[in-house]
Chains A and B, each alone.
Chain A
Amino acid sequence: AQKITQTQPGMFVQEKEAVTLDCTYDTSDQSYGLFWYKQPSSGEMIFLIYQGSYDQQNATEGRYSLNFQKARKSANLVISASQLGDSAMYFCAMRVRNQGGKLIFGQGTELSVKP
């Protein structure tokens, strides 16, 4: 069965510092995608970054990077130079090609950025 695990219910980071949000996944499929979404208090889901299972290099998008360790089945999100606007819930998700394209979500990590 496919599963996403986020073990950090809440995290604090000082403004301008970097922070790592943990994510591990479980699947027996070889073709899958890993995603991170941000959900501010307004409730909308904002796509941040994507990593394909066959991608050789770690994905980066501006201040976001994904530390992909396939053998360990981990896909941690690194946010560099944290900003106050980064305070939100962060969800790791997996999409398996053979499972109807549905996204499977973790429980989320609530990030609070301190000034």
Chain B
Amino acid sequence: DGGITQSPKYLFRKEGQNVTLSCEQNLNHDAMYWYRQDPGQGLRLIYYSQIVNDFQKGDIAEGYSVSREKKESFPLTVTSAQKNPTAFYLCASGPRAGELFFGEGSRLTVL
């Protein structure tokens, strides 16, 4: 089935560690996005990519990094520079117009 796969679903991290969240899509979408959601809040954009080998910072990019080496994949690394990384992370992809399609999310907890 076509869709977006995020992994892992749950992730625990010790302070000072980098972690990478995976996002894979088989919808043949050019654009991919990473959002962060804190409890009771809306989604805030971290990074997005409209084409392979190119990406742009969103509203809250500090402490995060991404890569886009393949059209299907857009991994997000939460670095030790991110001071408050505990959150729910959602990956999305979409065509040029219309709705974005979301993965099921990854919940990151810093111990």
Chain A residues engaging chain B, CB cutoff 8 angstroms:
4, 33, 35, 37, 42-45, 47, 50, 91, 95, 97, 100-108
User: B39-77 vs A: 1/0 string, CB under 8 Å?
Assistant: 011111100101000001010000000000000000000
Given A35-B99, A43-B88, A44-B104, also A102-B48 (CB < 8 A): yes
Q: Is the interface of B mostly helix, strand, loop or mixed?
A: strand
**B11 interfacial by beta-carbon distance below 8 Å:** no
Given A44-B105, A106-B42, also A101-B31 (CB < 8 A): yes
Q: Which residue of B lies closest to A89 (CB)?
A: B40
Give the complex CA separation of A43 and B106 in angstroms. Answer: 9
Segment at the interface with A among B18-26, B78-86, B89-97: B89-97
Offer 26 A-B interface pairs, CB within 8 angstroms, sorted by A: A37-B102, A43-B88, A43-B107, A44-B104, A47-B99, A47-B100, A47-B101, A50-B98, A50-B99, A91-B43, A95-B100, A100-B31, A100-B48, A101-B48, A101-B94, A102-B48, A102-B58, A103-B43, A103-B92, A104-B45, A105-B42, A105-B43, A105-B44, A106-B42, A107-B41, A108-B41
Using a Cβ–Cβ cut-off of 8 Å, how many residues does chain B contribute to the interface with A?
27
Chain B residues engaging chain A, CB cutoff 8 angstroms:
31, 33, 35, 40-45, 48, 50, 56, 58, 88, 90, 92, 94, 96-102, 104-105, 107
Given contacts A4-B42, A50-B99, 13 further A-B contacts (CB under 8 A): A33-B98, A43-B88, A43-B104, A44-B105, A45-B90, A91-B43, A97-B97, A100-B31, A102-B33, A102-B58, A103-B33, A103-B100, A105-B42
Write out the residue numbers on chain B whose beta carbons fall within 8 Å of the beta carbon of A47.
Answer: 99-101
Given A106-B42, A107-B41, also A101-B99 (CB < 8 A): no
In the complex, what's the smallest C-beta–C-beta distance from A89 to chain B, in angstroms?
A: 9
Write out the residue numbers on chain B whose beta carbons fall within 8 Å of the beta carbon of A35.
Answer: 99
